[in-house]
Structure 1
Amino acid sequence: MSGQLPVASPAEVRSAAGRDLRADRAAVIGLVLVNGLAAAAGLVGPWLLGRIIDTIQGGSGNVLSTVDRLAFGAVLLTVAQTVLSWWALKIGYRFGERTAARVRERFMRRTLALPPRVADQVPVGDLIARGSTDASQVAATLRSAVPEVLVAVVHALFLIVAVLVLDPRLGLCGLASLLGVGAAVRWYLRRARPVYLAAAGAEAGLADIVASTAKGARTVELLGLEDRRTEVTEAAIGQARRARLGALWLRTILFPWSEIALTLPVAGALLIGGALYANELVSLGVVVTAAVYLRQLVDPLNTVMLWIEQLQGAAASYARVEGLSDIPRTEPSQTEASRANAPAASARDVPGNRIRVQDVRFSYTGVRDVLRGIDLSVQPGERLAIVGTSGAGKSTLARLLAGLDRPHTGSVTIGGTPVADLPPDQLREHVVLITQDHHVFHDTLRDNLLIAKPDATDSELHAALNAVGATWPAAPEGEPDGELDVVLGRELILGDAAAQQLSLARVVLADPHTLILDEATALLDPKTARQTEQSLAAVLHGRTVIAIAHRLQTAHDADRIAVMEAGELVELGTHDELVSAGGVYGNLWQTWHGDDPGNATPLTDTPTG
């Protein structure tokens, strides 16, 4: 997968929003009902004001007593409207928080459900932006905008109906004046979606560039790419700025026009109402009541107008968050159609642990093959080392063996079953790939380890740490048995080497029958790396170990060595056989070994292969 992640269509966003509303329908119904009561209470006050004016103008009967009762009723209804509005907002905010949590959890589940070979190829910055900025905007909108807009819409509808019932002529006059608002909103909505999607996409692209630059900071410094990365970053900043200015330009048209249009209903009602009153077609109280209703209409419409920009931005963010569901869960291959109706493979279906690579070709771009005609068979329990210069295709082959990628031609099977066809949870029961990349969660050491085996005992956790030579856990003062309760990142800061040992300990707990080490010890010093590899060899006795060798000492200890060069498997044999043959491996060994193994340099200059 390349480029940015998919974006959900408007229909998909509406469907998702409908599901979220139905998931908390009781709150939605309560929100509408309480809003309706609040709006109804708000309508009576202006009507009572009209009655007061007509009563004073008529001057018949006990005017003062009647006015007092009407004014007291207006005060009571104003208080009732205030309480009901507060109650409605309370319901709305709680609904918003629950729905926002539901959206976040759904996004997290979809992210975690992505197959490794798909998750490994998604743009990191775009995914981070969707899970943070976009999800936060959706959450804020559901928490604030949705309840306030619902209150405003219900209030506006009640006011419009009240004016029409009070006097259809004044009501139609007011509604006609609102056509300007409708035209401005329609113009805005027709242009808003692509503009806001472009702005969100530009910001995601910027985040991706920043993330990739930070991740590859060492490589950028070594290769002197600082100026080039600066230019790329500044270009992304410029694109994000232009996209945001496009959204700002829409707002500069929408808001001034709507502000003018919102003043017209009251003016129209007063002009037309004055003419009708002069001809004794309506009472003064009716004109005042209609004018007050239409003046009250400005407030909810202002609320809608103020939130409409936020709603468009949130709709774009909602589309980006929901777009994760459109990521294909599998990558089609040339033989995908023939397997379409086949039942999914499972761990129980795999009859053996033999790994077989047959006539494999693979290309990242579809233009040039990175691997060409690879044939390899790995027996259960064998320790195989894969060596070669940087760019030879070692890591690509490791990804195919781990099921992260699917060969374009040929096959990679385990026990006769294509590795890439195994479901993710069952794939990890067979093969685990561990690279130099690692992650330490801001949590206790115990919880960081239990990720690999949730039901592991403390003794098993200690055994796994000891197996990889991790001697750095230290119990808090006064807690001699509390090493596993140390909070990583706060009470204990792990360096690269310690974090890598933690990652290896997780592998020990996962206990797969095949372990692929893609330069997993590259960040450890030679002595620590040697101890860790020896510990792993002892713990994983009888299991298959495939190591991408960064140091040739690792290859020396392997049962067999596969030598890669320019995407091809050029040599295969034991250490002694290959050294005696004097081929590619023999030359590498002589160059690496020299006269003093302790001063030997790594096989490659960079930790990638």
Structure 2
Amino acid sequence: MRHLYHELWRYAAGARGLLLGAFALLVGSQLFKLAVPWLAGQAINQIQSGGLSGLPHAGLLLAGVFCATAASWAMHGPGRVLERNAAMRVRETLFAALTRRVLDAPLAWHEARHTAETVSRVNQATGALYGFAESQYIYLQNGVRLFGPVIALWLIAPAVGIVAVCGYMVLGFLISRFDRRIMTYSLRESQTERRLSAALVDSLGNIATVFALRRRNGVANMMLERMRATFPPLRRSMVINEAKWCTVDLLSALLWCVLVALYAWLAASGASGPDHQVLKLGNVFMVYEYAREAGDVITAIAVHYSGIVGTQASYAAAQPIEAAGIEKWADALEPTGWRQLRIEGLRFHHAAARGEAPALEGVDLALQRGRRYALVGPSGAGKSTLLRLLAGLDRPQAGTIGFDGELLADPAAALRLEATLIPQQSEIFEGTLRENLLLGASADDTQLDAALRLAAAEDFVAGLVQGLDTVVAERGANWSGGQRQRLALARAMVAAQGSSLLLLDEPTSSLDPDTERKVLDRVLASHAGACVVSSVHRLNLLDRFDEVVLMQDGRVLDAGPPGDLALRSQAFRDLLSAQTASSA
């Protein structure tokens, strides 16, 4: 629990005044409530000792009961408002910190984890700390209602106070032992819940594939198995929880009975001193009320401690995110005046591909600014991997990269300031078409129209009733693959403005040949001063490029103008022949 308070204070930065103000009001509210049994008990004592003549004084004390209750609520309401406002600030700060940490993490970290699991971790952690922050009134209330009655019992009879402290310590120890076991099973349950969430997201997100392959029953059974995996730790937790409740309830009832009996015995025997030789009914009432109240608090602590155990388990979901490394991702292009980019001895091995051959091995390449390069080769040759490295998305395990003869100390960070990679995947985001094109950036409609024209999407968008304000269906499911790809390309053109190194990973593969040629010509013309490197599948487009880079098995076999390469490379001629035969 101490860790939760540390995190609460950490993420309450900027709202700590609200938090402390809420604490003060909520504690004050409970102190007023604490006075109610004392006032009521004193009223009973007045009636017992003074009879009818004591009624006026007793009436004033009972009026004090009402005033104390009213004062308690006068402080509780504003305190809760301040508390919940502070909780919202905590949630906002934590959410911003976790999402920033996720966005700062290396790409390899993301690829090693399921997206749904990461989303679940962010939601679990923010929800847990938010719930903890807005529930402080419960913990403050329990704290005052536990220590306050114990002090009151001590003042009434020290021996009763000592027995109460010992009894509550035993109860607290037992609760902690029970909940330590429950915590273990809560962590296991959270892990299985995240796997279930990942299965649901994958299955529903790829529902067209599920329908097309007639796999509804199989997917339903898979999700059911994931659901069943959450039950074993839950069942164990349920048994332990019921045993805890039985123990706490019985011992709490026993304790307050013992305390009342102890006070009565002390008063009857005169062991509490001359002031307690007469058994005052008001004092008996106070002992009963304070003992019962403290017992109720112990029961409440058992309830809320279980909640804290769950909160700790949920907040712990953020640990892998906080432990993720931090990359120096670029937020904007900062192109320099470089003329040549040289790569020597480049080697790259995917972190998840243990025991497999490197994706790239011994790659040497020289790229000139203002020239166009086509990457060709069979599937798995390493073209996409090379483009990712040139974009600075991955870091090579070996090799050097430099601009104009000067080696880069941090090639990935430097390349991110120069390069823009346009991937083959047509990823469409939730929101309007305008939001998809901008992704939080700023650009006017003139720039957006220019980007749509480069992607040959201007006519398609013009035909939409709401134009750029059209709401996109999930993953753009209401558009064809070619339309989605052109919109994704237009978005990339907005981001690529000013880029000195433009990297194309077959971003036009879903377009028909005529549209693909038109789009490629427009893109190349708009980036005449940049170095363009493109992975090319349709080899009839090679006449648009100055040089061809032939790759196979993660290596560069040869590079040169298309005509020269066709004369000297049998592997290149085989590629040309294979595509000619397949299109015949």
Do the structures match in fold with TM over 0.5? yes
Report if aligned partners of 2:101, 2:326 keep a CA contact under 8 Å in 1. Answer: no
Please list the CA deviations of residues 348-397 of structure 1 after superposition, one character each: whole Å capped at 9, or x if unmatched.
79661522221122222453322222111121122212222222222222
Match for residue 472 of structure 2 among 488, 511, 528: 488
Report if aligned partners of 2:342, 2:367 keep a CA contact under 8 Å in 1. Answer: yes
Report if aligned partners of 2:500, 2:531 keep a CA contact under 8 Å in 1. Answer: yes
Seen in structure 2, the aligned counterparts of structure 1 residues 501 and 80 have a Cα distance that, compared at 3 Å, is same
Report if aligned partners of 1:517, 1:547 keep a CA contact under 8 Å in 2. Answer: yes
Match for residue 143 of structure 2 among 147, 150, 153: 153
How many angstroms apart in 2 are the aligned matches of 1:473 and 1:319? 45
Seen in structure 2, the aligned counterparts of structure 1 residues 218 and 428 have a Cα distance that, compared at 3 Å, is farther
SS across alignment from 1:462:
helix
Seen in structure 2, the aligned counterparts of structure 1 residues 530 and 222 have a Cα distance that, compared at 3 Å, is farther
Matched, 1:320 2:317: yes
How many angstroms apart in 2 are the aligned matches of 1:404 and 1:317? 31
* Gaps in structure 1 of 5+ consecutive residues: 1-9, 332-343, 601-609
Specify the code of the residue in structure 2 equivalent to 1:202. Answer: T
Match for residue 575 of structure 2 among 580, 583, 588: 588
Match for residue 506 of structure 1 among 491, 494, 516: 491
SS across alignment from 1:541:
coil
Shift of 1:436: 2.4
SS across alignment from 1:524:
coil
Seen in structure 2, the aligned counterparts of structure 1 residues 234 and 355 have a Cα distance that, compared at 3 Å, is farther
Shift of 1:431: 0.8
Specify the code of the residue in structure 2 equivalent to 1:98. Answer: R
Specify the code of the residue in structure 1 equivalent to 2:424. Answer: Q
The more displaced of 254-263 and 537-546 is: 254-263
Specify the code of the residue in structure 1 equivalent to 2:158. Answer: P
Residue of structure 2 equivalent to 1:66: 57
Report if aligned partners of 2:8, 2:133 keep a CA contact under 8 Å in 1. Answer: no
Seen in structure 2, the aligned counterparts of structure 1 residues 212 and 370 have a Cα distance that, compared at 3 Å, is farther
Residue of structure 1 equivalent to 2:195: 205
Seen in structure 2, the aligned counterparts of structure 1 residues 437 and 138 have a Cα distance that, compared at 3 Å, is farther
Matched, 1:177 2:167: yes
Please list the CA deviations of residues 405-449 of structure 1 after superposition, one character each: whole Å capped at 9, or x if unmatched.
2221212444444495454xx644311112123443433433433
Specify the code of the residue in structure 2 equivalent to 1:372. Answer: E
How many angstroms apart in 1 are the aligned matches of 2:214 and 2:342? 41
Shift of 1:104: 1.1
Shift of 1:46: 0.8
How many angstroms apart in 2 are the aligned matches of 1:317 and 1:436? 37
Please list the CA deviations of residues 73-99 of structure 1 after superposition, one character each: whole Å capped at 9, or x if unmatched.
212222222333333322222222221
Over the aligned positions, Cα root-mean-square deviation in angstroms equals: 3.4
Matched, 1:369 2:351: no
Match for residue 305 of structure 1 among 296, 302, 305: 302
Please list the CA deviations of residues 151-189 of structure 1 after superposition, one character each: whole Å capped at 9, or x if unmatched.
322332222222222222222222232234212222134
Report if aligned partners of 1:357, 1:375 keep a CA contact under 8 Å in 2. Answer: yes
Report if aligned partners of 1:361, 1:369 keep a CA contact under 8 Å in 2. Answer: yes
SS across alignment from 1:522:
coil
Please list the CA deviations of residues 517-551 of structure 1 after superposition, one character each: whole Å capped at 9, or x if unmatched.
12222333444333322221222223212112233
How many angstroms apart in 2 are the aligned matches of 1:260 and 1:484? 67
Percent identity for Structure 1 against Structure 2: 24
Shift of 1:327: 0.9
Residue of structure 2 equivalent to 1:6: none
Residue of structure 2 equivalent to 1:405: 394
Report if aligned partners of 1:347, 1:427 keep a CA contact under 8 Å in 2. Answer: no
Residue of structure 1 equivalent to 2:264: 274
Specify the code of the residue in structure 2 equivalent to 1:83. Answer: A
Seen in structure 2, the aligned counterparts of structure 1 residues 317 and 246 have a Cα distance that, compared at 3 Å, is same
Q: TM-score, with normalisation over the residues of structure 1? A: 0.82
Specify the code of the residue in structure 2 equivalent to 1:484. Answer: L
How many angstroms apart in 1 are the aligned matches of 2:573 and 2:218? 39
Residue of structure 2 equivalent to 1:387: 376
Shift of 1:272: 0.9
How many angstroms apart in 1 are the aligned matches of 2:472 and 2:207? 24
Please list the CA deviations of residues 437-486 of structure 1 after superposition, one character each: whole Å capped at 9, or x if unmatched.
344343343343334752x3321111111111012224876xxxx73344
Shift of 1:292: 0.4
SS across alignment from 2:93:
helix
Aligned length: 566
How many angstroms apart in 1 are the aligned matches of 2:567 and 2:43? 111
Report if aligned partners of 1:35, 1:155 keep a CA contact under 8 Å in 2. Answer: no
Seen in structure 2, the aligned counterparts of structure 1 residues 124 and 348 have a Cα distance that, compared at 3 Å, is closer
Specify the code of the residue in structure 2 equivalent to 1:483. Answer: G
Specify the code of the residue in structure 2 equivalent to 1:545. Answer: V
Match for residue 535 of structure 1 among 514, 519, 522: 522
Match for residue 437 of structure 1 among 421, 425, 439: 425
Please list the CA deviations of residues 98-137 of structure 1 after superposition, one character each: whole Å capped at 9, or x if unmatched.
2112211221222223344544544423211112343233
Residue of structure 1 equivalent to 2:436: 448
Matched, 1:559 2:546: yes
Report if aligned partners of 1:432, 1:516 keep a CA contact under 8 Å in 2. Answer: yes
SS across alignment from 1:153:
helix
Report if aligned partners of 1:354, 1:379 keep a CA contact under 8 Å in 2. Answer: yes
Report if aligned partners of 1:117, 1:405 keep a CA contact under 8 Å in 2. Answer: yes
Matched, 1:378 2:367: yes
Shift of 1:508: 2.0
Specify the code of the residue in structure 2 equivalent to 1:164. Answer: W
Shift of 1:195: 3.5
Report if aligned partners of 1:392, 1:564 keep a CA contact under 8 Å in 2. Answer: yes
Shift of 1:192: 4.6
Specify the code of the residue in structure 2 equivalent to 1:305. Answer: A
Residue of structure 2 equivalent to 1:340: none
How many angstroms apart in 2 are the aligned matches of 1:465 and 1:74? 73
Seen in structure 2, the aligned counterparts of structure 1 residues 553 and 452 have a Cα distance that, compared at 3 Å, is farther
Residue of structure 2 equivalent to 1:241: 231
Matched, 1:467 2:451: no
The more displaced of 285-294 and 235-244 is: 235-244
Seen in structure 2, the aligned counterparts of structure 1 residues 290 and 218 have a Cα distance that, compared at 3 Å, is same
Please list the CA deviations of residues 535-568 of structure 1 after superposition, one character each: whole Å capped at 9, or x if unmatched.
2122222321211223333445322222222222
Please list the CA deviations of residues 44-83 of structure 1 after superposition, one character each: whole Å capped at 9, or x if unmatched.
2211221122222223561232232222221222222233
How many angstroms apart in 1 are the aligned matches of 2:52 and 2:130? 58
How many angstroms apart in 1 are the aligned matches of 2:233 and 2:394? 35
Residue of structure 2 equivalent to 1:291: 288
The more displaced of 400-409 and 189-198 is: 189-198
Specify the code of the residue in structure 2 equivalent to 1:585. Answer: F
Matched, 1:43 2:34: yes
Shift of 1:268: 1.5
How many angstroms apart in 2 are the aligned matches of 1:250 and 1:381? 70
Matched, 1:98 2:104: no
Shift of 1:585: 2.4
Shift of 1:273: 1.9
Specify the code of the residue in structure 2 equivalent to 1:498. Answer: Q
How many angstroms apart in 2 are the aligned matches of 1:11 and 1:585? 66
